[in-house]
A and B are shown apart, each in its own frame.
Chain A
Amino acid sequence: MDDAIPARAEELQANAIADLLGGCRRVAVGMLSPVPGAGALLAAHLSGGQTQVTILGSRAHSRFTNGGAELFDRAGRGGIDAFFLSGGQIDGRANINLVGTGDYPHTEVRWSGSFGSAYLYFMVPRVVLFRWEHSRRTLVEAVDFISAPGVSEPGVHRPGGPVALITNLCLFDFDRARARFRLRSVHPGHTLEEVRDQTGFDFDAPAAVPATPLPDAARLAALRGPVARQIADIYPAFAERVFGLATAQ
């Protein structure tokens, strides 16, 4: 891809995710996470070998030898520094819902399921939430089903939890002590008013909201070169759509 082409939304998002991963030793990327996967691979590229990325379902990007349980076993021992979760609904306390809307089990809309969230959200110190439809139906006051809670009662073993939420409009930090999001930046082309209009929960915001940084030329080149080729291994449809990487299919 031509570097003169302006950064696409997914590239800005992946770039912002890479910035959230500074200092991580091992980052794991789960299901249905192509943009976080690209962000993690960019972070690894920028880290000079400090950050290792494990992508579930990828042969090329996994050195796990003990089956699917290894991710959870390692996380239980504190060996996974960062992970990514999404939700059909995410609420203002960072509860996530991956199961469906309505009165469970009679869900009006049924999603695929909770995957590892009900464990990894507790165990991984730096969980980055992502949702690429920023709207009042996705970012709600209270989720219909708690697949994994943003915060836990005192006495519950919980070394991990959410640190941030990135959407197609903005980036929030999460304050675990207050169980509340605080707006960090708004993506170029969007405004605080738009974020407020489209968000179903209350959040804090600084007096002057900065713009989410665009990737510089070196980062764009990395995203469109090595990162794109690596992510195509597990997300061929995504790599074709965003980076124009043609595959045999």
Chain B
Amino acid sequence: MKPNWQDDVDTLAAQVPDGASLTVQKGDERDVPMALAHALVRRGVRGLHVITLPTAAYPASGMMVDLLIGAGCVDSVETSGISLHELGAAPRFTQAVKAGRLKVLDATCPAVYAALQAGAKGQPFAPLRGLIGTDLLRHRGDYRVIDNPFAPGDPIVVVPAINGDVAIFHAEMADAEGNVWIGRDRDRLLAAHAADKVLVTVDRCVPGCFFDDEALAAGAIPADLVHGLAVVPGGGAPWLPDGRPDLAAVRRYQQAALDDDRFEAWLQAEVRVRDAVPA
């Protein structure tokens, strides 16, 4: 076994320190590490700063961030949007903001990407069009407006780089060397370049090496960027194997998460007990 392979999802969760800044993907791919999030809840991680790249507003990603917030793992989020997509609001997120228990750094998607790209390049900041005249800019003490140094009289926003302590995501498969295949969506590769530590779950491990096949190599994250990797079949639930989210499961979560007691019961049944007992 290569050094980045881990025993299980709880071994990965142990590598996320309290207070870490944690990047998560937007969730329109099967990239949501739900089993790892459950393991983080079981380990009782506290004080996370969750950065959504750039949103968590699809059913599975919104649910994952929402349950981490509801379980008390998160102190602050930087995000351009958190919701359960067409199913509606993310209940624990909404409730935590209303109760003043969650600090929100409101962003806009391209600012998150620009900041992440800067982070991936080791640069301190990135310029971005737009934003001038918004209340987002007014409330972000870390965004600035500068004069375009190449064309004076042209104000432009600069945003500081994002370098998360830990990036977590799920992927379909890894090869025997620990390379991770993500396909056409480059967001997980960008996240891996920008974060200090990268923890990945995959549905399966396949023999061979993705770099022997040019078509697969184009959608691969090299193993040297991945610090911890565990095979967790179905670890990206509620994504279904056919490529659709299990909306019924997300609706059940949403209903439970509307109420403090029902949410606690859901956590107990679905996260604390169920995952701990082998099926």
Contacts and interface: CB of A to CB of B under 8 A. Distances in A.
Interface string B89-116: 1100110011010011011111101000
Given A113-B81, A123-B129, A67 B135 contact: no
Contacts of A121: 130
B2 interface: no
A107 interface: yes
Given A57-B58, A115-B81, A249 B185 contact: no
Interface residues of A, number: 51
B155 A110 contact: no
A120 B97 CA distance: 26
Contacts of B53: 68
Given A72-B113, A249-B247, A115 B129 contact: no
A236 B247 contact: yes
A69 B116 CA distance: 10
Interface string B48-90: 0000011101100000000000000000000111110111011
A245 B28 CA distance: 22
Contacts of B109: 68, 72, 115-116, 119
Nearest to B104: A105
Q: How large is the interface on B (under 10, 10 to 19, 20 to 34, 35 or more residues)?
A: 35 or more
A19 B83 CA distance: 30
Given A119-B130, A146-B135, A31 B85 contact: yes
B86 A118 contact: no
B132 A116 contact: no
A149 B247 CA distance: 34
Contact of A67 (B129, B187, B243): B187
Given A31-B57, A238-B86, A118 B131 contact: yes
B55, B58, B129: residue with the most chain A Cβ atoms closer than 10 Å: B129
Interface stretch (A152-160, A176-184, A194-202, A213-221): A152-160
A76 interface: yes
Contacts of B104: 105
A119 B80 CA distance: 12
Contact of A115 (B55, B86, B93, B139): B55
**Secondary structure of the A contact surface, majority rule:** loop
Interface in A102-124: 104-108, 110-123
A148 B86 contact: no
Contacts of A65: 184, 186
Among A110, A145, A155, which residue has the most Cβ atoms of chain B within 10 A? A110
B153 interface: yes
B243 A104 contact: no
Given A31-B81, A57-B85, A249-B247, 20 more contacts: A31-B55, A34-B86, A65-B186, A67-B189, A72-B110, A72-B113, A105-B103, A112-B55, A112-B83, A113-B82, A113-B106, A113-B107, A114-B106, A114-B134, A116-B80, A118-B137, A147-B135, A155-B154, A157-B156, A237-B86
Name the 8 nearest CB pairs between A and B, nearest first: A113-B81, A119-B130, A67-B186, A72-B110, A118-B108, A112-B83, A57-B28, A69-B113
Interface of A: 31-32, 34, 56-57, 59, 65-69, 72, 76, 98-100, 104-108, 110-123, 145-149, 152-153, 155-157, 235-238, 248-249
16 contacts: A67-B185, A67-B189, A76-B129, A112-B89, A113-B80, A113-B83, A114-B106, A114-B107, A115-B109, A117-B108, A149-B133, A156-B155, A235-B86, A236-B244, A249-B244, A249-B247
